[in-house]
A and B are shown apart, each in its own frame.
Chain A
């Protein structure tokens, strides 16, 4: 059985949680078969190799440190060719999306997306992928080498957070062909309310139906001394600003109470709120995935429930 290669992810000099989540899982999978857990680091992140103690070895490529879709994909491809891992783990993230499929497709390897479960299976691996907005789990078994996109929050980061002094090996890679150039990072805009600090959040999803009805959530939030947050669908529709968005491409929140109104609970949304202490979901679809992470649920129309609550609160 071969080794497992983890493509690390970093931003502004820090390894991201997904890196440790993948390392912990890779260590477990490799340990069961006697393979090694390898971590691929980019540019100056090599200097932080001691944070990657969960890996048996660190492979350092001399790309620019700042993420670049083209040069990173070229470096990962070179590393996979050089090390022939039986499995390559890439985050199912904005960055990982640019890397996994191109590398796998160029090398003729299968790529499995949205993985929330991975286990050893015969000579290969079995993957569980979240599909249809979290409404179906799809199992894919692969007998040879593969590349997997790992959903954030699927595996505990603690399992991969061991410091140590793994051997560091430099791997020479070509710089890519320069068709994509990094220009700059743009910090998120400031906001009147920082929802990552809120104790209570009333979060609205597409189920609220229109911009005008956001007011209902605002009234409820006021009565509960809560702040209003939302799903991406609400931001894309222009109903609330980006600073209120919870999830993968928004903010991670951990309030005491999170009330989800008309939010389906897509994996990208759950990523940002599933560690809230108490989650309450109101949704007309009894099969909505939000009910799987909620502590309390009401399978009903959000307007009826909210209006009734407001009446009683008065």
Chain B
């Protein structure tokens, strides 16, 4: 069984985020990007499935951009078998991103696509369900736990309050991964360097990106500060508040 994991970089939220001159987009000049954390979980789940013998091949793919090579080599260092860098037109929203991955997945072929359940900027819907729609495949989101059984998978879908629903889904299909069964592994820098010297990235095309989201951002701004929080200076002040509230 062959698994594709589409990877995407998102702004690191630890950074100070600012809106650019257009008033409609992030100012990306000074911010750091990192792998979407749910994509990392999707990759981990794919690698676990391979290690337990349920999958034979794990292919990662990403759109060409800053630091894409490093991200793809890191995925190879973690254990992915093949990494594809997609060049061509740059997708501008989740729909176009999904279209690019759908085009590449059709060329590559696979039994299962594991996508991160969401990302911090997917305004026009999450990647997995849009990708599945373009490919005409079934899709289940918010998945934590995947078991392969022949030509189907048994998955745990998380509901609210810790409740979980078990579903069976025929392959091929798409899953939106919320959490892998274990914390995503780490690839040491030395291993990434070694892979960079010994393996190369495959290339592919983003292809025809289609019409996209069908809606555009009118404006972007940080939420208005409610200003309701009283800012305290010290632990002592905080203890006073706790005394007032009868905690201590």
Contacts and interface: CB of A to CB of B under 8 A. Distances in A.
Same complex: yes
Contacts of B199: none
Interface in A115-156: 126, 129-142, 146, 149
B120 interface: yes
Interface string B1-41: 00000000001011011010000001000000000000001
Interface string B206-220: 000000011111111
Interface residues of B, number: 80
A94 B230 contact: no
B129 interface: yes
B218 A126 contact: yes
B176 A97 contact: yes
A39 interface: no
Interface stretch (B80-88, B136-144, B189-197): B136-144
Nearest to B225: A292
A131 B222 contact: no
Contacts of A281: 229
A299 B168 CA distance: 47
A313 B228 CA distance: 27
Interface string A85-105: 000000001110110111011
B21 to A, nearest CB: 16
A34 interface: no
Given A294-B229, A295-B230, A308-B235, A285 B167 contact: no
B125 interface: yes
B238 interface: yes
B188 interface: no
Contacts of A237: 183
Given A183-B154, A186-B156, A70 B247 contact: no
Interface in B114-154: 117-118, 120-126, 129-130, 132-134, 138-142, 154
Interface of B: 11, 13-14, 16-17, 19, 26, 41, 95, 117-118, 120-126, 129-130, 132-134, 138-142, 154, 156-170, 173, 176, 178-179, 182-183, 213-223, 225-226, 228-239, 241-242, 245, 247-248
Given A179-B169, A184-B166, A312-B235, 7 more contacts: A101-B124, A105-B129, A110-B215, A137-B221, A186-B166, A236-B183, A243-B162
Interface of A: 11, 16, 67-70, 93-95, 97-98, 100-102, 104-106, 108-114, 126, 129-142, 146, 149, 179-189, 200, 223-226, 236-238, 242-243, 245, 248-252, 256-257, 264, 278, 280-281, 285, 287, 289, 291-299, 304-306, 308-309, 312-313
